[in-house]
Structure 1
Amino acid sequence: MSAPATDLPLSRKQLRSVARATARINVWHGAVRSGKTVASLLALLLAIAEAPPSGLIIICGRSLQTIERNCLEPLSDPALFGPVAGQVRHTRGATTAVILGRTVHLIGAADSRAEGRLRGLTAYLAYVDEATLIPEPFWVQLLARLSVDGARVLATTNPDSPRHWLKVGYLDRAAELDLRAWHFGLHDNPSLPPAYVRSLNAEYVGLWRKRMIDGAWVIAEGSIYDCWDEQQHVVDELPPMVRYWLGVDYGTSNAFAAILLGLGEDGRLYACAEWRYDSRQKRRQMTDAQYSAALRGWLAGLGVDPEWTFVDPSAASFLAQLWEDGHPGVARAKNEVVDGIRSTSTALAAGLLLVHRSCEGLRAELPGYVWDPAATAAGEDRPLKVADHSCDALRYVVHSTAAEWRHLVPDLLVEEVSPDAAS
């Protein structure tokens, strides 16, 4: 059977990868929006159409929600897959879907415990979305379940650390294994408008530019916010603010930090003010009720009522205290650490995020906020957990409000990207 039709123009590399995805392990990796997902989903449709009637088919991802967003929604889009999209049926939240008349099982793999969901299965075909984000034991167990003749896995991923288990244990050993891999760059996706490519080039900086734009497997090392510059990012005066949000990193034996983020009339974000309490320095711990009262008193003194207060999601008792005290707009912060760091890096590098000089704790922490070398050696991206409380509070509020400010990334930064860099 030929590959199902798509209304998008396809590059030669995309078509070649679809036709040759017949190894036991097939991996599409590279830059964000480089066309690897469309190619892999085309290969999935072709594989489902050719699967034997008794062959079990599964789609795996970080969570059921990411499977729905990254796999099922594109497959259901007529603009991407034409008439075939009408043969994809799924009820949101259900753990199965019907694709080309075949039942497909959906399995989320947020942690190593997800491995148990695979035990006892014998599968013919598996598709893995963002393979670097699933635990290695799950991947190993998945391969063990693909035990029938002709069974294979199709997987996509953005690059990660060159010491990541997928790179070291599989991609680097392609010659030894029944594995085919295709590396994609932005130029491999002919459907991207030039203006969008320039925007992508502007939005990713540092480590993420190398991974998401260049498609390189590079180490996270050194300073996390390598673009931080006191002279460029610290201000003595604030413009009038039109919106406020608050980020809180809860601590009892460690420091408690709160960062007030404002959106100025000038269209920029400002870390306007900071409240910190370090029980080790004060030699006295505060209760949740005392923290709540102190925080609300500090905000009242500033004359500020933030729209939302984003709190460290692990601080269950403090969240409950704020709710009990009637603090408005309390929410669990988005705590995807690396994604939060990326959002903050984008805002800093774009000149969108500035810090008021009064935020002394934050200013002291930012230059020393570094990647953990032990985690890097193990193939993981993780900050060193030293003097990071104000940095965490900033990350919570910036990342949790990303949908409110991403469109404000200055056009000037986009225009500075040369056509050669965007190609």
Structure 2
Amino acid sequence: MPLPLSRAQIGSIVESQDAPLALWSGAVSSGKTIASLLAFLLRIVVAPDHGLVVIIGRSLNTIERNIIDPLSSTHLFGPLARHVHHTTGSTTAVILGRTVHLIGASDARAEGRIRGSTIALAYVDEATLVPHAFWMMLLSRLRVGDQSRLLATTNPDGPFHWLRKDFILRGPEVGLVNWHFTLDDNPSLAPTVVARLKAQYTGLWYRRFILGEWCLASGAVYDMFDEDRNVVDLLPYMKRWTAVGVDYGTANPFSAVLIGHGEDNHLYAVSEYRYDSKLAYRQQTDAEYSADVRQWLASVRRPGEQGQARGVQPNWIFVDPSAASFMNQLWAEKVPNVAPAVNDVLDGIRSVGVALGSGLLRIHRSCAGLLGELPGYTWDEKAAERGEDKPLKTDDHSADALRYALHSTAHEWRGLIDYKEATSAAA
């Protein structure tokens, strides 16, 4: 049976049918995707034959995951789902008997995929992630008279993002209607799901993805960091040595942070290696760094074990992917489990923020470099005014090492978060 709809969802579906540009924005899981897809299905039925129908997303994989999979779900769309046909990996689908083209738009070059086309109906997933040049090209392709329609969804971004500045704030001028959704607009969400969502996002992303604000990336990146909650003097027994994150530096500091999974099911930044050539008045070679890191890991005390047990072998050593020569040095010396870190900066910051904000991550007081950097790690406000979310690239070496270790293993530890505890702590 299809999911129930809220009054806000029904209203947006009805009103969108006459809007040249229709945008559903707001909180995650607020029901905007379901409403927009129902509106899209209604428009497919009446879309002119002499124009293409397209679905646009960051990549083909995200289109399949965010759009095609939900449309194919009888739980969400009932008998309509039986009229959605798609083979994984194909760039077309057949929806309600109409061929629909699936177009990934990860960069400005993607505009060539629609150049010269006549588009009758377009659906855009996560519009803020679509390049501005592609969006403008798409608008120019909507040329089936006054019958062309564009429907889009998005989570909020910064207040200077082109979508807000040039379209949302100028809605009546450009023919755009925007509906803002909150978690309360999704009647299918259970209270436990709402609590989990609120615990998963912290700081900047809580304001954008939960409160639905178009807010500036300003101030501290990790404004959820709390010394009383996140810093410890004693460590429990470690069930698993999860990973080491390495931020490579020659003129800048070299930092490595060791993460362990404690017997209390919390993550711990147990120990840190750091070398600053400016303080030492000497730069080191890859071979010297490799020897130092191996010696450091061999000397790390294993807490909760009898005596003074020392020496750990982490499951992974994740290295700054730009440090190819250092990885080659480690591989040549047959250091096990070395891999390039996942270096998606914003997603990585979000992973660290979740671990800190939920109370899952605790940092031992001996990690002086990391603890010295986290409170002062700030957003670049000049970049934010240009519509970009970027942290300032100063005093971030241990913070980057922590990000490499945590984000590269996020799939392993996210299930450890106690969302009830996290929600009560946030309250």
Q: State the TM-score, normalizing by the size of structure 1.
A: 0.92
Q: How does 1:176-255 map to 2 (within 5 A)?
A: 176-244=173-241, 245-255=243-253
1:331-376 CA distance string (max 9 Å, x none): 3322222222122112212221111112111111111100001111
Q: How does 1:21-32 map to 2 (within 5 A)?
A: 21-22=16-17, 23-32=19-28
Residue matched to 1:390: 398
Q: CA deviation at 1:289?
A: 4.1
Q: 2:32 aligns with which of 29, 36, 39?
A: 36
Where structure 1 has 5 or more consecutive residues not aligned to the other structure, the ranges are: 1-5, 419-423
1:100-155 CA distance string (max 9 Å, x none): 23222222222222233232222111111111112211111111121222212111
Amino acid paired to 1:56: L
Task: Supply the RMSD in Å over aligned alpha carbons.
Answer: 2.0
Residue matched to 2:303: none
Residue matched to 1:274: 272
The answer as to whether partners of 1:158 and 1:211 remain within 8 angstroms in 2 is: yes
For residue 174 of structure 2, give the secondary structure of its aligned residue in structure 1: coil
Amino acid paired to 2:11: R
Q: CA deviation at 1:38?
A: 0.7
Residue matched to 1:174: 171
Is 1:413 the counterpart of 2:422 in the alignment? yes
Distance 1:72 1:292, change over 3 A: farther
Residue identity over aligned pairs, in percent, reads 59
Q: CA deviation at 1:299?
A: 1.9
Residue matched to 2:342: 334
Q: CA deviation at 1:417?
A: 6.9
> Which whole-Å CA distance do the structure 1 matches of 2:246 and 2:423 have between them?
32
The answer as to whether partners of 1:198 and 1:415 remain within 8 angstroms in 2 is: no
Aligned residues: 413
Where structure 2 has 5 or more consecutive residues not aligned to the other structure, the ranges are: 301-310
1:225-252 CA distance string (max 9 Å, x none): 1122334322222111111211122233
Residue matched to 2:117: 121
Distance 1:152 1:231, change over 3 A: same
Amino acid paired to 2:266: R
Distance 1:57 1:362, change over 3 A: same
The answer as to whether partners of 2:25 and 2:179 remain within 8 angstroms in 1 is: yes
Answer with 165-174 or 288-297: which moved more: 288-297
Amino acid paired to 2:67: C
> Which whole-Å CA distance do the structure 1 matches of 2:77 and 2:425 have between them?
35
Q: 1:54 aligns with which of 38, 50, 53?
A: 50
After superposing on structure 2, the runs of 4+ consecutive aligned residues of structure 1 that deviate more than 4 Å are 415-418
Residue matched to 2:160: 163
Amino acid paired to 1:178: G
Q: How does 1:309-320 map to 2 (within 5 A)?
A: 309-320=317-328
Is 1:9 the counterpart of 2:7 in the alignment? no
Answer with 131-140 or 202-211: which moved more: 202-211
Q: How does 1:71-82 map to 2 (within 5 A)?
A: 71-82=67-78
1:188-238 CA distance string (max 9 Å, x none): 000001121122223322222221111111111111111223343222221
Answer with 113-122 or 321-330: which moved more: 321-330
Distance 1:361 1:105, change over 3 A: same
Q: State the TM-score, normalizing by the size of structure 2.
A: 0.91
Distance 1:67 1:223, change over 3 A: same
> Which whole-Å CA distance do the structure 1 matches of 2:258 and 2:231 have between them?
15
